[in-house]
A and B are shown apart, each in its own frame.
Chain A
Amino acid sequence: MALIFQSEEMCLVQLFFQSESGYCCISELGELGLVQFKDLNPGTTAFQRKFIKEVRRCEEMERILWFLEKEITKAGIPMADASVLGEAPCARELLELESVIEKVDKDLKEINSSHEALKRNLTELLEMKYLLQMIQDFFEETPIDLPDRLTFSSHSLTPSSLSSLCRFVAGVIKQERFPAFERVLWRVCRGNFFLRHSEIQARFEDPVATILKKEVFIIFLQGEQFKGKIGKICEGFGLTASHSKALNHCFICDHVILVFFSPKVLNQTNEHRHNVLTSAAVNIQNWKTKVKKMKAIYHTLNLCSIDITQKLVIAEIWCPVSDLSEIHSALIKGSEKSGSSLHPVLHRIESQQTPPTFNRTTSFTSSFQTIIDSYGVGDYQEINPAPFTIITFPFLFAVMFGDCGHGLIMTLFATWMILQEGHFKRLKNEVCALSDTLFSGRYILLLMGLFSVYTGLIYNDCFSKSLSIFASAWNVRAMFQPTGPWTNHTVHSSVTLQLDPVSPGVFSGSPYPFGIDPIWNLSSNKLTFLNSYKMKMSVIFGVVHMLFGIMLSLGNYMEPRNILLQFVPEVTFMLALFGYLVFLIIFKWCAVPSSASRRAPSILLHFINMMMFSYPESSDSFLYGSQVGCIVQIFLVVTALLMVPWMLLVKPLIILKEQKKEQRSTKELVSWQKKRNSESIQHLEGDTVFLQVNMGDVFVHQAIHTIEYCLGCVSNTASYLRLWALSLAHAELSEVLWKMVPHVALSARAYLGSLMLTVIFAIFAILTVTILLIMEGLSAFLHALRLHCKFAGVPVTLFAEFSPEMSQ
């Protein structure tokens, strides 16, 4: 049972096994996931390690697999999930797997390139087809009337006669570039050309799969020079333009070729590609797992050292003491699988190094352990606060959230997530990271919801309304005559009136048994009462939580003298000041009757006066007898002030005294040895100088610790006031939402009000979930986290288990 309260005891173990069985043994250990390998070749770079070639091969395979996966998802083929989380393959399978994967890769590359080429050809031919079609259309047109300056004779020219007079250049161009093309042509040829263009109706796809619009154009021109210039312009725009001479022959060939290269061929290529990808898709997840495991195993083998004879592999691992037998059996299994006759040897060795910290967790406790670890992993065998955090974290959240209606929704949501666990785990890879986080925190969410329901019932806040489970402790009727001062006239004349607890019968004498009285929800000075209550509650919880933390840290003290030197002054300081404050709060609640309300002293002023040693003359300002109170308070403040130098100075002074004693004894040793051997003096003097430098460190360290603790006490107590602040914010937001949204519909007098209510309820629900649940929930979560950070220790190495599966 003590195991969860402390991190586990770890041991350093040396493993010896044969080189042949090395691979299998490590794969067995990987399946177990209980060991951390130490790097025995720290001096070598990555390139010098023994198994670097195999690691490279695995990486190459991973790259191919990644490329395959992309192709498969692009083609929209569903991939089969990793079937059995099988064991890592043996070394022989590496070659097999490699050849299979490379073959698939080569096939796919070939298919892709031929597909590209075919598509390009098809596009060109299609362009040509449209071009020819357009030219044909153009020549069959009715004759056009050209302006006079272009004609040689007075009669109009048919386009066919035009072609005999001048040459033409025709081609296909992208529609967006056409205006630029036209402008350039105009400038170069100075308008001595005739250009016709029309849009191609069909759409083209270019290799990047964007849809393009293209146009065919035909330019008529005179003269050789123009032909050359236009040729150059077409080159500049990246077009292939055909001249009049070349076009005549292509007519017939074109159609034939198009039939030949019809989309049928393209389809066949696509189908073949699809088949290859589908067959790959079946196995791809399994391959990925296998390659990952192999890479991890070779990586680990790189960490081990191979001895001179090349026959023995030596590895050093950190593992929990309680798991030694499991590890041993796993090793035996591995060596049997590889068929070697010798079993591996386990040899536990002592080490001066601090072992890594390992906290064993179940699926329930792991989320809480993550929260604690996020602030800093505890030292080796330090007290682990996680078991307590399981309750205190959701509880502090609930104090800040405090609404039983919202808490109920949260509980239901968390319960749904827990019941759908199997469904969520299967979806794990596909859902976004945010819902992944939400899912892994489902137990925290459940506890937070449950505690919120409880605190909501105590705050008597359910969607900003109070529940009146028991009857209220306050009575209005008693304020009226004859028992009280009010008459009907008083009620008519003033808008608000305040109930007086002193009047007989108004306050029943005993408070509402469970939580806050429901009458406060109806009153306009609700916040005056609630603020005082919640602030005091925050301070009480803060002091209790901090004291609990200090008590827990008692378990971390190794030497008993440290307890006296550090723990006792810490606790005394805290109790003398803040413990007394808590006592004052509770005493005032219990002992000051309503009749004394006019004379009731303010705790805050009281406390300030106590710290400043100012005691005014009037005896009213004391809660209990003034003489006794004076003495008690002075005693407490003086004690607390005395703790500061105790924490600051006593421990370093004791250490200093011890050093001096050692110094004196070594000096005596030195002078005695001087008579015998003069060489060792240098060595010893060097030691004493070293010790003296350390003393400064000790003093500074102690001073920092003292200041941190004392100031921390004050500031942390104040920081717990966020419990009050956030619960106030939540309650007020809730009330505003109610007033602005459903209240409007509920107070509508017409029948239309019921229709409005339907719409408005939807708005109310959405706003409740987004603002009050999500936003406030996250905010309260953050602040509860902040309040737990005092359990953080010095960051140390966390136990990094070797388990290739875990990274999936």
Chain B
Amino acid sequence: MVSHSLTLPMVIFTILWGLVGIVAPLFVPKGPNRGVIITMLITTAVCCYLFWLIAILAQANPLFGPQLKNETIWYLRYYWE
């Protein structure tokens, strides 16, 4: 098991969706569809970021653990680091 950190993914994904939602709209070329494309970028960024955030927060402090079959436990004990 690799010890993950909580901060690293937070930073990475915040920056990623921040780029999509805040920086990219500045670079959309002028044309009749500029408004639509900017709306699409911002909405996508908000929805996807929120979805990812909920997934990671829900697992941050687990109140119970997974219930495994004893065969699975035996396998995981030896094959997972």
Contacts and interface: CB of A to CB of B under 8 A. Distances in A.
Interface of A: 1-5, 362, 365, 387-388, 390-392, 395, 399, 454-455, 458, 470-477, 479-480, 491-492, 494-501, 506-517, 519-520, 522-526, 528-529, 532-533, 536-537, 540-541, 544, 586, 589-594, 597, 600
A513 B68 contact: no
B73 A495 contact: no
B55 A458 contact: yes
Nearest to A532: B58
Given A472-B1, A476-B76, A501 B62 contact: yes
Nearest to B74: A491
A517 B57 CA distance: 12
Contacts of B77: 476-477, 480
B65 A507 contact: yes
B16 to A, nearest CB: 11
A508 B68 CA distance: 18
Given A1-B35, A391-B40, A594-B61, A513 B67 contact: no
25 contacts: A1-B34, A362-B32, A387-B39, A392-B43, A458-B55, A473-B1, A477-B77, A491-B70, A497-B68, A498-B68, A501-B63, A508-B2, A510-B4, A512-B56, A513-B4, A522-B68, A522-B76, A523-B67, A529-B64, A536-B54, A536-B58, A537-B55, A541-B50, A544-B50, A594-B62
Interface residues of B, number: 46
B66 interface: yes
A524 B66 CA distance: 7
Shortest beta-carbon contacts, A-B, top 10? A499-B65, A523-B66, A511-B59, A513-B9, A1-B35, A391-B43, A597-B63, A475-B1, A525-B67, A510-B6
B26 interface: no
Contact of A525 (B48, B63, B66): B66
Contacts of B33: 362
Contacts of A515: 52, 55
B73 A589 contact: no
B4 A508 contact: yes
A589 B1 contact: no
Contact of A390 (B40, B60, B73): B40
Given A510-B4, A510-B6, A526 B66 contact: yes
Nearest to A459: B55
Contacts of A500: 65
A472 B2 CA distance: 8
Contacts of A591: 61
Given A491-B74, A492-B70, A470 B4 contact: yes
A4 B35 contact: yes
Given A4-B35, A391-B40, A480-B77, A497 B67 contact: yes
A606 to B, nearest CB: 15
A471 B1 contact: yes
A652 B70 CA distance: 68
A476 B60 contact: no
Given A391-B44, A510-B5, A528-B64, A497 B73 contact: yes
Contact of A476 (B52, B67, B80): B80
B14 to A, nearest CB: 13
Contacts of A523: 66-68
B58 A522 contact: no
B35 A476 contact: no
B68 A512 contact: no
Contacts of B63: 501, 592, 594, 597, 600
B27 interface: no
Contacts of A506: 65
A25 B15 CA distance: 57
Given A523-B68, A590-B57, 6 more contacts: A365-B36, A471-B2, A474-B1, A477-B80, A540-B50, A589-B60
B10 to A, nearest CB: 9
A447 to B, nearest CB: 9
A549 B38 CA distance: 18
Contacts of A392: 43, 47
Given A1-B34, A4-B36, A516-B55, A454 B69 contact: no
Contacts of A1: 34-35
A477 B43 CA distance: 43
A476 B64 contact: no
B61 A589 contact: yes
B55 A472 contact: no
Contact of B47 (A391, A508, A514, A589): A391
A566 B49 CA distance: 31
B21 to A, nearest CB: 11
A510 B4 CA distance: 6
B35 A520 contact: no
Contacts of B59: 473, 511-512, 516-517
B67 A472 contact: no
Nearest to B1: A475
